[in-house]
Amino acid sequence: MTLAPAKVACASGPRIVQERGQREVFCGLTGIVWLHRKIQDAFFLVVGSRTCAHLIQSAAGVMIFAEPRFATAIIEERDLAGLADIDDELDRVVTRLIERRPDIKLLFLVGSCPSEVIKLDLSRAAQRLSQRMSPAVRVLSYSGSGIETTFTQGEDACLSALVAQAPRAGANQPPSLLVVGALADAVEDQFRRIFAQMGIERVDFLPARRAADMPAIGPNTKFLLAQPFLSDTARALEELGAQHLPALYPLGVEGVDDWLGAAARAFGVSRERFEAATAAPRARAQKSLERLRPTLEGKSLFFFPDSQLEPSMARFLSRELGARLVEVGAPYVDRRRLAEELALLPPETPIVEGQDVERQLDRVRAARPDLVVCGLGLANPLEAEGFATKWSIELVFTPVQGYEQAGDLAELFARPLLRRELLEA
């Protein structure tokens, strides 16, 4: 174990190739599926089309809710003259919703692609509704449109909207740690315990579980990103004076060590105290990885771009489990927020930013990797061609951050390989 800072990306790190073409990635509306579970008194109202409603329902449809916390206000096609009516309609829908559901304290109006929605000024609508419903309900807006966002960028847009409205902390406030990115409650609780054992007293999470608990932000806020896809949110926090603590992302033992280590250094935690807080869960994580290493060691992996988690997953799988990286695709590579991750990837790893799906399919067919990590739309056809696949959406829906989850994370990749071995036996 070391508290030394992680390496930063250097000129000899992997080369990033950009590709443009047809994409096979979900839009940012998908984020609602995990965000509505995290913020327990929020409601997400998608302003969109029937397609948007179908996407949300099928992505979240496996769960049955007595009172769901998301819905779609379907805007049918109409001409410009009808736009004023849409504003009235939206106000009516929101008023009815809030009357029926007094448990809602934070309402997100979520924009989408249809041209009728693009013409609407949702941020003005949110301001108007917020003024009318304050203080009982706060109304914010963001875009989950497939034109502007891919898959995980919906969370970035949602958290940026929260930061823009967050209470401000003055320069006289004591230093506090902010963990940014939606984490499963169990993972959040584990991190809280470890930070408390390290002696870091003031720790907040964004998003908070309840609307009223959103943290105040100011120059004495130091923040850790729990997810690599939060570039806009990080920028918005920095504009308020908060300081980013650069680190690996908390995936796998090495990632969690470095991530917690960055907080320990920033808050003056002694090496002994850090070790006392982390030794036991680290040992458990290492043990769980040992069990899975034989399944993944030497196996070739190909990542299609989907969640932006790809470089971090690739680092974990190659360094802690001995997997071979054939190609690591990502919809967007933020060189600054991923510097530590990129520096630890084998230098020969091809990193492809963006997507030209046909060319990628040609490359995957030529390479015949042992495992392909890809979106739902590609998984079935690739399975039919004889590839073992892992749905990248599972990496976002499953709690994978932290020591206690390191084994579960490795297992997500090991399972399809084990299944294939059984089928071939």
* Residues binding ligand SF4 (CB under 6 A): 27, 29, 48-49, 51-52, 55, 112-114, 144-146
Packing angle, helices 376-384 and 357-367, rounded to 10:
40
Residue 287 φ then ψ, to 5°? -65, -40
- CB of 29 or CB of 125, closer to ligand SF4: 29
Burial class of residue 312 (count of CB atoms within 10 Å of its CB; 0-12, 13-18, 19+): buried
Minimal distance, residue 416 CB to ligand SF4, in Å: 27
- CB of 59 or CB of 245, closer to ligand SF4: 59
- CB of 113 or CB of 260, closer to ligand SF4: 113
Sheet holding 203-206, edge to edge: 203-206, 176-180, 221-225, 243-244
Minimal distance, residue 58 CB to ligand SF4, in Å: 10
Omega before residue 207 within 30° of 0, cis = yes
- CB of 55 or CB of 94, closer to ligand SF4: 55
Minimal distance, residue 181 CB to ligand SF4, in Å: 22
Minimal distance, residue 277 CB to ligand SF4, in Å: 42
d(CA 57, CA 62): 9
Minimal distance, residue 23 CB to ligand SF4, in Å: 11
Per-residue CA distances from 65 to 36, 69, 103, 313 (Å): 12, 8, 15, 32
- CB of 146 or CB of 402, closer to ligand SF4: 146
- CB of 57 or CB of 134, closer to ligand SF4: 57
What is the DSSP code string of 11-51? TTSPPEEEEES------GGGGHHHHHHHSTTEEEEEEE-HH
Q: Select the residue whose beta carbon is closest to ligand SF4 and give its number.
A: 146
d(CA 163, CA 106): 14
